[in-house]
Chain A
Amino acid sequence: MPELGVVQSFTVTFIVRRFNPETDQEPYWQDFDVDMYSTDRVLDGLHKIKWEQDGSLSFRRSCAHGICGSDAMRINGRNRLACKTLIKDLDISKPVYVEAIKGLPLEKDLIVDMEPFFAAYREVQPFLQSTSTPDKENIQSPEQRARFDDTTKCILCAACTTSCPVFWTDGQYFGPAAIVAAHRFIFDSRDEAAQVRLDILNSKEGVWRCRTTFNCTEACPRGIEITKAISEVKQATISGVRR
Chain B
Amino acid sequence: MTTVHHHEYDVVIVGAGGAGMRAAIESAPHAKTAVITKLYPTRSHTGAAQGGMAAALANVEEDSWEWHTFDTVKGGDYLVDQDAAEILAREAIDAIIDLENMGLPFNRTPDGKIDQRRFGGHTRDHGKAPVRRACYAADRTGHMILQTLFQNCTKLGVEFYNEFYVLDLVLTEEKGKTRTSGVVAYELSTGDIHVFNATSVIFATGGFGKMFKTTSNAHTLTGDGVGIVWRKGIPLEDMEFFQFHPTGLAGLGILLTEGARGEGAILRNASGERFMERYAPTIKDLAPRDIISRCMVQEVAEGRGAGPNKDYVLLDCTHLGAEVLETKLPDITEFARTYLGVDPVTEPVPVMPTAHYAMGGIPTTTDAEVLLNNTTVIPGLYAAGECACVSVHGSNRLGTNSLLDINVFGKRAGRNAAAYANKAKRPALPKGTETFVVELIEKMRTADGSENVAAIRKELQLEMDRNAQVFRTEESLSHAQKIIEGLRKRYEKVGIHDRGQRFNTDLLEAIELGFLLDLAEVVVVSARNRKESRGGHMRDDFPDRDDKKYMKHTMAYKKGEKIALDWKPVVITNYPPMERKY
Contact = CB atoms under 8 A, between A and B. Distances in A.
Contacts of B250: 4
Given A69-B42, A128-B103, A133-B101, A50 B506 contact: yes
A238 interface: no
B42 A139 contact: no
B375 interface: no
A74 B464 CA distance: 35
A20 B108 contact: no
Nearest to B38: A62
A109 B312 CA distance: 39
Interface string A223-241: 0000000000000000000
A86 interface: yes
Contacts of B341: 2, 39
B356 interface: no
Given A2-B340, A62-B39, A108 B503 contact: yes
Interface string A31-56: 00000000100000000001110111
Which residue, B110, B138, B143, has most C-beta atoms of chain A within 10 A? Answer: B143
A156 B144 CA distance: 12
Nearest to B340: A2
A63 B45 contact: yes
Given A62-B220, A114-B40, A156-B42, A55 B105 contact: no
Nearest to B111: A139
B338 interface: yes
Interface residues of A, number: 68
Interface stretch (B79-87, B122-130, B150-158, B365-373): B150-158
A61 B219 contact: yes
A121 B151 CA distance: 10
B100 interface: yes
A22 B151 contact: no
Interface in B79-131: 96-97, 100-103, 105-114
B96 to A, nearest CB: 8
Given A1-B350, A127-B154, A137-B114, A111 B42 contact: no
B308 A6 contact: yes
A39 to B, nearest CB: 7
Contacts of A91: none
A42 to B, nearest CB: 13
Contacts of B147: 152, 154
Contact of A63 (B47, B152, B339, B452): B47
Nearest to A137: B100
Interface stretch (B2-10, B62-70, B383-391, B492-500): B492-500
Interface string A87-105: 0000000000000000000
A121 B218 CA distance: 25
B137 A152 contact: yes
Interface in B1-56: 39-40, 42-45, 47-48
Which residue, A23, A109, A152, has most C-beta atoms of chain B within 10 A? Answer: A152
Contacts of B311: 4-5
Nearest to B501: A22
B309 interface: yes
A135 B97 contact: yes
A138 interface: yes
A61 B39 CA distance: 9
B342 A1 contact: yes
B49 to A, nearest CB: 9
B347 interface: yes
Interface size class of B (residues with CB under 8 A): 35 or more
B454 interface: yes
Contacts of A39: 339-341
A118 B503 CA distance: 19
A122 B335 CA distance: 30
Contact of A2 (B154, B350, B496): B350
A165 interface: no
Contacts of B452: 51
B189 interface: yes
A55 B503 contact: no
B108 A140 contact: yes
A103 to B, nearest CB: 18
A169 interface: no
Nearest to B331: A67
Contacts of B189: 107
A20 B506 contact: no
Nearest to B157: A122
B322 to A, nearest CB: 16
Given A107-B503, A128-B102, A152-B105, A54 B497 contact: yes
A126 B103 CA distance: 10
A188 interface: yes
A51 B107 CA distance: 42
B539 interface: no
A204 B507 CA distance: 44
Which residue, B44, B48, B340, B452, has most C-beta atoms of chain A within 10 A? Answer: B48
B537 interface: no
A243 interface: no
Contacts of B101: 128, 130, 133-134, 137-138
A64 interface: yes
Contacts of B453: 51, 55
A58 B218 contact: no
Given A39-B339, A56-B500, A138 B100 contact: yes
Contacts of B498: 55-56, 58
A86 B338 contact: yes
Contacts of A152: 105, 137, 144, 147
A149 interface: yes
A4 B137 contact: no
B505 interface: yes
Which residue, A1, A5, A108, has most C-beta atoms of chain B within 10 A? Answer: A1
A162 interface: no
Contacts of B47: 63, 67-68, 155
Which residue, A4, A108, A134, has most C-beta atoms of chain B within 10 A? Answer: A4
Contacts of A125: 155
Contacts of B155: 125, 127
23 contacts: A1-B307, A4-B350, A5-B307, A22-B501, A22-B502, A39-B340, A62-B44, A63-B43, A64-B219, A65-B339, A66-B335, A68-B48, A70-B43, A108-B502, A121-B154, A135-B97, A137-B97, A137-B100, A139-B112, A142-B107, A153-B140, A156-B42, A188-B103
Given A56-B506, A111-B503, A127-B151, 12 more contacts: A1-B347, A64-B219, A66-B335, A67-B140, A68-B39, A107-B189, A122-B154, A128-B102, A134-B101, A145-B105, A155-B42, A156-B42
Interface of B: 39-40, 42-45, 47-48, 96-97, 100-103, 105-114, 137-138, 140, 143-144, 147, 151-152, 154-155, 189, 218-220, 250-251, 254, 307-309, 311-312, 331, 335, 338-342, 347, 350, 452-454, 496-498, 500-506
Interface pairs A-B: 4 shortest CB-CB: A128-B103, A55-B497, A51-B454, A139-B112
